[in-house]
C-alpha cells in the first residue's frame, strides 16, 4: 500500500486518534524495524510525553513529540497503523505505543520492511535521506527541471524518491496512463506539453486516491487504470489490452495503444 496517498491517510488517522494522550510505554516486537541506534534513548524521549501533531513528507510520517523531535514512520511494503483499546494486539504488530486509558497505537507490518526512526528536525531528515520535493507540493517549474535532467525511463524517474518524493510503482502507472505517456519513454525526450500533463495528472491522481482513502480499486473503473491493474484486461478506453512489462526492475502495467 504505502505510497503518498496511503501515508496521507495514515497521517490523518494518526492526527485523529493519537494526539494529546500521555505515553505510558513503548514496545518493540521486532528490532529490525528500528532504524535509530538506541531504543533506550527513543523510549526515554517518548515515555511520559505526548504527540502534538503529525505531518507527511513523501512516504514518511513525522509525529511530533511534545516540543522535542519526531518519531518517524516509514511503511515499507505492508506497513499500517492501528489504534485500539484493550489487550488484543493486532497480528504482525512490530512496534507499539501505549497511552493512558488503555489506548494503544500499533505499527503493523507483516513483511517487516517498514522502519521506525527518530529525528530532531523534518528538514534535516529530508536532507539526510536526500529526498526530492514532495509530489503534492512541488511546483511545475521545479518538476520540469528535475525530470528533464535525466535520461532514464520516466517511470523510474517518477518513482525515485531522490527526485520526487511520494510516488511508487502503483501510482506511477496511473499517472502515466492518465497522461498518455509510455513508462519507458526517456525523461529528457518528453516535450513541455507532456511534462505539464504528467505534472497535472500527478496531482490529480494523488488527490483522487486520497479522496478514495488510498484504495486503488475504488477509483472509477471507466477512467482509471488501477482497478484493472494486475489483470491483463481491456484498457478502460477500449483501445486494446493492458500490457505488463518490467521497467527498471519493477512491474509496470500500461496500454500500448493509448500510451504511445
Q: Per CB under 7 A, does 175 bind DNA?
A: no
Torsion angles phi and psi, residue 196, rounded to 5: -65, -40
Compare residues 6 and 98 and give the one whose CB is closer to DNA. Answer: 6
Q: Per CB under 7 A, does 150 bind DNA?
A: yes
- Least distance (Å) between residue 209 CB and DNA: 10
Q: Per CB under 7 A, does 153 bind DNA?
A: yes
- Least distance (Å) between residue 68 CB and DNA: 24
Positions 189 through 208 that interact with DNA (CB under 7 A):
none
Q: Is 113 left (phi over 0), alpha (psi -120 to 50) or beta?
A: alpha
The closest of 58, 174, 51 to 122, measured between CA atoms, is 58
User: Per-residue x/- marks for DNA, 97-116, CB under 7 A?
Assistant: -------------xxxx---
Positions 36 through 75 that interact with DNA (CB under 7 A):
58-59, 74
Q: How far apart are CA 23 and CA 196, in angstroms?
A: 46
User: Per-residue x/- marks for DNA, 68-97, CB under 7 A?
Assistant: ------x-xxx------------xx-----
Size of the site for DNA (CB under 7 A): 33
Amino acid at each position: 500500500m504505502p505510497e503518498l496517498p496511503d501515508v496521507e491517510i495514515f497521517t490523518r488517522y494518526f492526527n485523529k486518534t493519537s494526539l494529546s494522550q500521555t505515553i505510558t510505554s513503548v514496545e518493540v516486537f521486532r528490532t529490525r524495524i528500528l532504524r535509530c541506534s538506541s531504543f533506550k534513548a527513543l523510549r526515554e524521549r517518548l515515555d511520559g510525553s505526548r504527540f502534538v501533531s503529525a505531518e507527511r513528507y513523501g512516504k514518511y510520517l513525522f509525529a511530533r513529540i511534545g516540543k522535542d523531535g519526531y518519531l518517524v514512520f516509514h511503511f515499507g511494503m505492508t506497513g499500517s497503523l492501528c489504534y485500539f483499546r484493550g489487550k488484543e494486539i493486532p497480528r504482525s504488530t512490530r512496534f507499539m505505543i501505549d497511552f493512558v486509558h488503555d489506548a494503544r497505537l500499533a505499527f503493523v507490518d507483516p513483511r517487516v520492511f517498514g522502519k521506525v526512526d527518530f529525528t530532531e528536525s523534518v528538514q534535516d531528515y529530508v536532507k539526510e535521506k536526500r529526498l526530492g520535493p514532495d509530489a503534492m507540493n512541488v511546483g511545475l517549474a521545479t518538476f520540469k527541471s528535475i525530470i528533464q535532467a535525466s535520461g532514464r525511463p520516466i517511470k523510474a524517474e517518477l518513482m525515485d524518491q531522490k527526485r520526487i518524493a511520494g510516488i511508487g510503482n502503483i501510482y506511477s502507472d496511473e499517472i502515466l496512463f492518465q497522461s498518455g505517456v509510455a513508462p519507458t519513454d526517456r525523461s529528457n525526450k518528453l516535450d513541455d506539453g507532456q511534462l505539464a500533463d504528467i505534472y497535472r495528472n500527478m496531482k490529480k491522481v494523488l488527490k483522487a486516491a486520497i479522496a478514495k482513502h488510498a484504495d486503488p480499486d475504488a477509483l472509477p473503473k471507466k477512467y482509471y487504470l488501477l482497478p484493472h491493474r494486475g489483470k491483463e484486461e481491456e484498457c478502460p478506453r477500449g483501445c486494446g489490452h493492458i500490457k505488463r512489462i518490467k521497467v527498471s526492475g519493477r512491474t509496470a502495467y500500461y496500454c500500448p495503444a493509448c500510451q504511445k
